[in-house]
A and B are shown apart, each in its own frame.
Chain A
Amino acid sequence: MRIARRIWREIPVWGLVLPSLFLFIVFSWQPLISGLYLSFFKTKGYRAEQYVGIRNYVEVIQNSEFQQTLINTFSYVVWSLTIGFALPIVIAIIVNELVHFKSFFKFSIYFPVIVPGIAAAMMWMFMFEPGDGGLLNMLFGKIGLGPYPWLQDPGWSIPLIVVTMTWKSFGGSVILYLASLQGVNRELYEAAALDGAGVAQRVRNVTIPQISSIIGIMFILQIIGVFQVMYEPLTMTEGGPSNSSMSLMLQSYFYAFRYFDAGKSMAIGSMTFMILLVLTFVYFRVNRRSD
Chain B
Amino acid sequence: MNKFMKGLVAGSIVAVMVTGCTTKGNSQPNASEASGGEASATASSSPASGKKITFVNGDWPQTNDQSLPQFEKWKQAFEAANANIVMETEPYPYDASTFLPKAESGQLPNLFGTFFTEPQKIINAGYAADLTESMKAYGYDQSLNPSMLDLVKKDGKIYGFPTSGYYMGLWLNVNLFKQAGLVDDKGVPKYPQTYDELAQTAQVIKEKTGKAGFFLPTKNGQGGWQFMNIAWSFGAEFEKQVDGKWTAVFNSPEAVAALQYVKDLKWKYKVLTDNNLVDVSDLFRMIGTDQVGMGFGTADWANQPINDYKMSKDDEAMAAVPAGPKGKYSLMGGSLYMFSNNSSPEQIDAGFKWLKYRGYSPDTSADSLKVFEESLANDQKLNRVVGPHSMSLWADPQVVKTQDEIRAKYTNVNMDLWNSYMNNEGVTIRPEEPINSQELYKALDVVIQAVLTKESADPKALLDQAVADFQRDYLDKA
Contacts and interface: CB of A to CB of B under 8 A. Distances in A.
Interface in B316-361: none
Interface residues of A, number: 40
B474 to A, nearest CB: 9
Interface stretch (B41-49, B64-72, B96-104, B189-197): B96-104
Interface string B462-473: 000000110011
Interface in A121-142: 129-134
Contacts of B121: 259-260
Contacts of B452: 241
Interface stretch (A77-85, A97-105, A151-159): A151-159
B274 A133 contact: yes
B456 interface: no
A255 to B, nearest CB: 11
Interface string B71-102: 00000000000000000000000001101100
A116 interface: no
Contacts of A240: 218-219, 277, 445-446, 449
A256 B124 CA distance: 14
A243 interface: yes
Contact of A260 (B10, B97, B100, B275): B100
A12 B4 CA distance: 11
A20 interface: no
A64 B454 contact: no
B12 A241 contact: no
Contact of A259 (B438, B453, B468): B438
B277 A132 contact: no
A153 B277 CA distance: 11
Contact of B469 (A11, A64, A151, A154): A64
Interface string A47-70: 100000000000100111100000
Nearest to B291: A133
A65 B477 CA distance: 16
B276 A152 contact: yes
B12 A15 contact: yes
B124 A44 contact: yes
Interface of A: 8, 11-12, 15-16, 18-19, 44-47, 59, 62-65, 129-134, 147, 149, 151-154, 237-238, 240-243, 256-260, 262
21 contacts: A12-B6, A15-B9, A18-B13, A45-B103, A46-B104, A47-B126, A62-B472, A129-B274, A130-B276, A131-B274, A149-B276, A152-B276, A237-B277, A240-B449, A241-B449, A242-B450, A258-B96, A258-B438, A260-B121, A260-B124, A260-B125
Top 5 A-B residue pairs of the complex, sorted by shortest distance between their CB atoms: A131-B274, A64-B469, A15-B9, A241-B449, A45-B125
Given A65-B469, A134-B274, A258-B442, 15 more contacts: A11-B9, A11-B10, A44-B126, A46-B100, A46-B104, A47-B126, A129-B274, A152-B453, A154-B450, A154-B453, A237-B219, A241-B276, A241-B450, A258-B96, A260-B121
